[in-house]
Structure 1
Amino acid sequence: MKLEQRRIDEQERALDPTRRIVAVRELLQELIRLSEERPVDDMDLMELFKMLLALRSADPLFPMQAVTAAAFAAASAAECGAFGTRSDETPLKGSAVTMRWNEVRDAVIGAGESSLMRALQRRKWVKVKED
C-alpha cells in the first residue's frame, strides 16, 4: 500500500507545474543578478516573455495584467532616463523611442483589428465609440 501511495505521489509531483515554477524562479533570480553586469540580448528576453505568456494561467485576465505591469515598467524606465532625453534639435518623428511608443499604443488602443481594444470591443467588453 505504501509503495502504491509513493508511486501516486511521485506521479503527482511530476505533473505539478508549481514545482517547476519554483525552479524557474530561482534561475530567473540568478539571471537578474548576472544581467546587472552583462545585459541580456532583447531577442532572448522577448523569447522568454512570450514563453511566459504562453503558460495557461489560472486567471484568464493574466495577459492584461502582464500588459499593465510591462507598461508600468516602461514608464519607470522612461522616468529614470533609461531611454535618454530627446534634445530639442532631435526630430521626434522616426526616433527609436517614438517608433516603439507607436507600436505599444497601436497594440493596445490602435484602430487595427488586432489591437487589444478592438478585440475587447468585438467581445462587447469595451464600447465602440460612436462618431
Structure 2
Amino acid sequence: MHIKKRGNNALLYRSTWVRKGAEENDHGFSRQVYVASLPLQATEIPSDTDAKLTPLEREFVEQRVVGPARQGLARCQADAQKRARDPLWRLEEGLRLVREASALSAQGAVPAARVRELHAAVASIQFIGASSQPAERDPLEAAVESLRNAARAVANGHYGPAPEEGVRKSPIYVRWLEISEQVDGSAPDGLLRQLQARGWVKAKAR
C-alpha cells in the first residue's frame, strides 16, 4: 500500500503486481487500485476505511497518517496550554495598546484613576530577578511544629539515654527549663504571660 496526498486528504492505494502474460501483457507491471481516503489530520481510522484494510495495511496507515496526526494534535494542545499560561505575549500586546493610548491621550485625556489602576497592575507583576517575600508563618503554629519535631527526635534517640548523674547541668535539661518557663508562666516575658496579657489565655484562679 502507498499514499498519495491530495489537498488535506491521504489517498490510499493498494499495489498489485501483474505478471508478464497474465493479461496478454508483454511485461510485468504494478497496478494501483484505489482503496479509500482519510483526512491527513485524522487521529483515528474511519470505520468504513478500516473495514477495507488488512492488518498490515492498517498498521501502515497508523504509522504514516494517524500517528503523525496525533503527534501534531498533541503539539498544538501543548502550545495552546503554554500560550494560555504565558504572560509575556499579553504584556507585549498590552504595551502596544498602552503606547497607542499614550499617543491618543494628547487629543483626549484619560481619568487619573484609570492610570493609577494601570500602575498598580504593572507593579504587581512578578519579574525575573525580583526578590520573593514568602508569607509570614503563624508563630504559634511554627512553635507547635518545632515542639513536635523535637519530641519525635527524642523518641528516635537523637540525644540517647541520659547519664546517671549531672542531668540537671546538661544543655538538654537547661533547654527544657527554658521551654517550660515559656509555657508555664514562670518567665514574666514568656509566651503564656504574653497571651494572658492580651486576653488569649485566662489566668487560673488561685
Shorter-chain TM-score: what band? 0.5 to 0.7
Task: Give the drift of 1:75.
Answer: 0.3
SS at match of 1:70: helix
Q: Which residue in 2 is equivalent to 1:114?
A: 189
Asked if 1:90 is matched to 2:165, the reply is yes
> Who is 2:152 aligned against?
76
TM-score by length of 1: 0.56
Partner of 1:103: 178
Name the counterpart of 2:94. Answer: 2
Please report how far the alpha carbon of residue 7 of structure 1 lies from its aligned counterpart in structure 2 after TM superposition.
7.7
Which is higher, the Rg of structure 1 or of structure 2?
Answer: 2
- Higher share of residues assigned helix: 1
Relative contact order: is structure 1 or structure 2 higher (C-alpha 8 Å, sep ≥ 6)?
2
Bigger proportion of residues as strand: 2
Q: Provide the secondary structure at the position in 2 that maps to 1:77.
A: helix
**Following the alignment from structure 2 to structure 1, what is the Cα–Cα distance between the partners of residues 125 and 154?**
43
What runs of 5+ residues in structure 2 fail to find an aligned partner? 1-92, 99-117
Q: TM-score, normalised by structure 2?
A: 0.38
- Unpaired runs of at least 5, structure 1: 25-54
Aligned length: 91
Higher alpha-carbon deviation: 71-80 or 116-125: 116-125
Measure how far apart 1:10 and its partner are: 5.2
RMSD of aligned Cα (Å): 3.0
